[in-house]
Amino acid sequence: MGLRRAPTGARSEQVEDGRWRQVLAASTASRRYALSFTTGTLLVREATVVAPLYLDIRDWEQTRDITIERNVLQGRTYRTSVRLAREAVKRLSALVDGEVELLADATASERAHLMWVAACRRYQFIGEFAEEVVRERFLLLASTLGYEEFDSFVRTKALWHEELAAIKDSTLLKLRSNVFKMLQEAELLSETRFILPALLSERVVAKLDARMPSDLRFFPTPRLERRGTSQ
């Protein structure tokens, strides 16, 4: 296992993160996890197409309908196009308008980072895995992320979320595969499963840090600020 020099202030960040997680856990433990992220992975290509449509009309339901009616995403079959359109809109709608505007004019890396945030916000399960496992391991200098960490996370969460205990093994394997592919597409995990420090642009940082708690918590980075309030 590779070693990195501990980031400045990492210990204080861990304490602060722990306090936030306790607050969040108290408010979300009773909510059922949405586990429908088996369609596509990060959906960056789809988001790049759909975002400008939304910005023209500022209505997610109409955006979804237009995307389906015009077969904008050009899936292999009509059913595939419908599933992709619905999932892309579902995730994009987790972003505020300023973030969607940024995504429409972003670099490839910025789009990937914004769509990772969209997945973390839309799916509490992914968001908690990103914060409690991926970022935590990064701060503890554990340089790799394997399937065993995901499986352990699921077993722990299943104690409070019976929906996790009830899903089929095949579905769980699909969810696991998709989460790891998302991490790789977001440039946060290498193909050999080494955790990659998030190289976030300043304008992405500004958008994510405008929330309380800061959505930088979804990334493997020692930087975590809480200056602003949710937009």
Q: Dump pLDDT digits (tens) for 80-139.
A: 999 999 999 999 999 999 999 999 999 999 999 999 999 999 999 999 999 999 999 999
The whole-angstrom distance between residue 185's C-alpha and the CA centroid of its chain comes to 11
Spatial distance between the Cα atoms of 182 and 175, rounded to a whole number of angstroms: 10
For the whole model, what pTM was predicted?
0.84
Whose CA is closest to 70, among 60, 111, 219, 62?
62
Look at residue 13 and tell me whether its pLDDT is greater than 70.
Answer: no
Asked if 224 contacts 176 with a C-beta cutoff of 8 angstroms, the reply is: no
Look at residue 57 and tell me whether its pLDDT is greater than 90.
Answer: yes
Look at residue 26 and tell me whether its pLDDT is greater than 60.
Answer: no
Look at residue 20 and tell me whether its pLDDT is greater than 50.
Answer: no
Residue 76's pLDDT band, with cuts at 50, 70 and 90, is confident
The average confidence (pLDDT) of the chain is: 88
Look at residue 225 and tell me whether its pLDDT is greater than 70.
Answer: no
* pLDDT reported for residue 224: 65
Look at residue 22 and tell me whether its pLDDT is greater than 80.
Answer: no
* pLDDT reported for residue 15: 46
Look at residue 25 and tell me whether its pLDDT is greater than 70.
Answer: no
As a whole number, mean pLDDT of residues 9-24 equals 49
- At 189, is the secondary structure helix, strand, or coil? strand
Calculate the alpha carbon distances from 205 to 16, 110, 129 in Å. 19, 10, 20
Helices (H) and strands (E) in the chain, counts: 12, 0
Domain spans of the chain, in order of start: 44-114
Look at residue 158 and tell me whether its pLDDT is greater than 60.
Answer: yes
Instruction: Give 44-98 as a DSSP string.
Output: HHHHHHHHHHHHHH--HHHHHHHHHHTTTT--SSHHHHHHHHHHHHHHHTTS-HH
Share of the chain above pLDDT 70, in %: 83
